Amino acid sequence: MNLSGVLFFPVTPFDAGGALAEEVLAEHVRRGMEHGPGGVFAACGTGEFSALSESEHARAVRVATEVVAGRVPVFAGAGGPLGAALNQARAAREAGADGLLLMPPYLAQGPGHGFEAYVRAVAEVLPVIIYQRGSVVLEPEAAVALAGLPGVIGLKDGVGDIDRMQRIVLAVRESYPDFLFFNGLPTAELTMPAYRGLGVELYSSAVFAFAPEIALAYLNGEERLLTEFYAPLVRLRGKVPGYPVSLVKAGVRLRGLDVGAVRPPLVEVSGEHLEELEALIKTGLERVAS
């Protein structure tokens, strides 16, 4: 799977009545594609995956694949109960998606071979990138076993344990040198210097969804953005649970596209924090233009 550069995780727009706003989603993806992302991940964490019905998920993925039209790979979120994950996977396949970002199953937890069976079942439908976060925290031996399953092509790390990730990367690449690894932490740019030291070059960029100019400038070597934009953004993100998504959606609105509100249990960005976000975006864009 050819993935490179900045990976685009679009938000999922809702209209004033709370319904999926498909035309706004199409415009959001179109605007992102103008900046040349290396892949599009629809209806994933930033896209409020856990708040979407199966039918909304299927429609969101179809909109994304239609707009992208084969120019870059499209991945869809999948996960939760096995039946729901399989339905999401089949709908994504029918929509023309290239693969899945597999979220952890919820509530029910079994031993390692039980999780392997879960992953194997979904990977029979479409290629899978496993998302390590929440209940899924792997030891190197387990990561190697999962990397050997047919259809499993990558691991996205949302834990941030550098020692663990180094051991996983070394163990997996010994047997599967082409296996993909991703930095999946919120505001991943801030930790990319550490992940690059592990040999992990791919990362999800939430910032690309609302300020692709800033995301691309960082990718192209503008490291002053780390202190002037990304570090303050991380401090703002940490003020309220759920802000890793709420701030992104607010940022898209600030840049002129009305993508609506977030769904509960997420909450909207407060007025004070919205002003901080607006000032940060202004600072980042000024740095890019200078």
Which member of 118, 131, 218, 230 is catalytic? 131
| Residues 6 or more apart whose Cβ sits within 8 Å of residue 239 | 273
Which residue type, as a one-letter code, is found at position 160?
G
Exposure pattern of 129-153 as b/e (b: 16+ CB <10 Å)? Answer: bbbbbeebebebebbbbbbebeebb
The DSSP output letter for 37 is -
Cβ count near 287 (within 10 Å): 17
Q: Which residues on adjacent β-strands are paired with residue 181?
A: 155
Distance CA 280, CA 269 (A): 14
Distance CA 25, CA 20 (A): 8
**Exposed / middle / buried, residue 35 (Cβ in 10 Å: 0-12, 13-18, 19+):** middle
Which member of 156, 195, 230, 249 is catalytic? 156
Q: Which residues on adjacent β-strands are paired with residue 180?
A: 154
Q: Which residue has the tokens 């780390």?
A: 226
Is the CB of residue 37 less than 8 Å from the CB of residue 2? no
Whether 131 is catalytic: yes
Whether 282 is catalytic: no
| Residues 6 or more apart whose Cβ sits within 8 Å of residue 95 | 58, 61, 62, 65, 76
At 256, list the tokens.
Answer: 């002129």
User: Is 12 annotated as a binding-site member?
Assistant: no
Which of the residues are catalytic? 131, 156
- Which residues are documented as binding site? 46
* Residue list, annotated binding site for pyruvate: 46
